[in-house]
Amino acid sequence: MSTSVGKTRPVVVVAILAGLVIALAYLVESRGDSGAVHVYDGTAHDLPFLWQRLVAPIATGFPSADNERVYLSTAEPQQLLALGALSGDESWGLDLRLGYTGIRQIIADGTSVYALNATRLTAYEASTGRQEWSTRLGDGHVRAILEDAGDALLAYYGGDLIRVSKLSGAVVDRRLIGRLLWVTPVADVHEVDGGMIGIDPASGVVLWRTSSVPFMVSEDRKPQSAGSARLLVYVETERLCMLDVQTGLYAWCAERPFVSNAVVDPSQERVYVLDEDYTLLSLDIASGDSEIIASFPFSELVRDSASYHYALSASADRLFLYFGDTTQLFALAINPG
């Protein structure tokens, strides 16, 4: 009898361990790391829910989206990941563990995906992930911010502003930033003692000078175009403002604790941002007036998770929300019909 028990004990232990592994995998897959999940509540507004899924924790930076896919830079494993915008299914993924430092910024334009890390700017084919070109910008250990400038990319890289051709990856121009804050088609905005000035990019003539408080420019607080003459910016960490680049004056500012980046609806009508109560707000571009359009409460009471990373991205028809505390990615339809 004892011999029989001795022979079966390893099998029982293996079976128990296998069961625990399966249970743990199910827990992680279904509930995320925090033990609770965010639940979509769209009762405040008829905003169609498309899908939600778990993804690996994303690295520093924010997702980027076009009409076909949403692109993420994940930290563990270190990948550039493309998911179908309509389904959330994986389109392709690139393993970036070997010889590559983490992606800091991503921009998608429908044809290519551009990824900026500490030293290089690399272009990938949007539909396949095939590398198109890669250009070394420097030695790293600097601020690295990427902006779409039509047929070129602008990299605010340390103390340099670098213009790179989208087609070839060639560096077209490189100049010192100095006290330049941001480049727009209307005015190059510079910080000066006591305020800001706007300089005509073609003639170099000073267009305006104001005592407005200069806005922030950082990797996680990047200005965004909201039309040819408007720039969505952060004045201090949690103060979201709309700058009129024709006058240098702030049209409005919204002051409340936002936990995510803000994104501009490509139709140029609304701004979306997540507040500390996991409520999705829509702000009118012209006035800054806000309305609650959805909320994402936890399924159960959890400890404060304000230190986690929350990120938004938008395409012409869809809005993507990432919750770092549960590693959930939600997709909602905007501008339906």
For residue 59, the tally of other CB atoms under 10 A from its CB is 20
User: What residues does 114 pair with on adjacent strands?
Assistant: 107, 123
- Class of residue 26 by CB neighbours under 10 A (exposed 0-12, middle 13-18, buried 19+): exposed
Encode pLDDT of 182-225 as tens digits.
999 999 999 999 899 999 999 999 999 999 999 999 998 899 99
pLDDT value of position 308: 77
| Number of domains the chain contains | 1
Residue 214 DSSP one-character state: P
Q: Are 302 and 319 within 8 A, CB to CB?
A: no
In a domain, 107, yes or no: no
* Per-residue pLDDT at 44: 59
pLDDT, residue 85, reads 94
Contact 83, 93 (CB under 8 A): no
Low-confidence ranges of the chain (pLDDT < 50): 1-34
Integer Cα distance of 308 and 260 in angstroms: 10
Is residue 17 included in any domain, yes or no?
yes
Domain enclosing residue 23, as ranges? 1-31
DSSP 224-264: EESSTTEEEEESSTTEEEEEETTTTEEEEEEES-B-B--EE
Write out the two tokens for 37: 């999940």
What is the per-residue pLDDT for 337? 59
pLDDT given for residue 301 in this prediction: 62
**Is 153 part of any domain?**
no
Whether 10 is in a domain gets the answer yes
Please indicate, yes or no, if residue 3 is contained in any of the structural domains: yes
**Of 313, 336, 288, which Cα lies nearest the Cα of 47?**
336
Q: Which residue has the tokens 């952060």?
A: 234
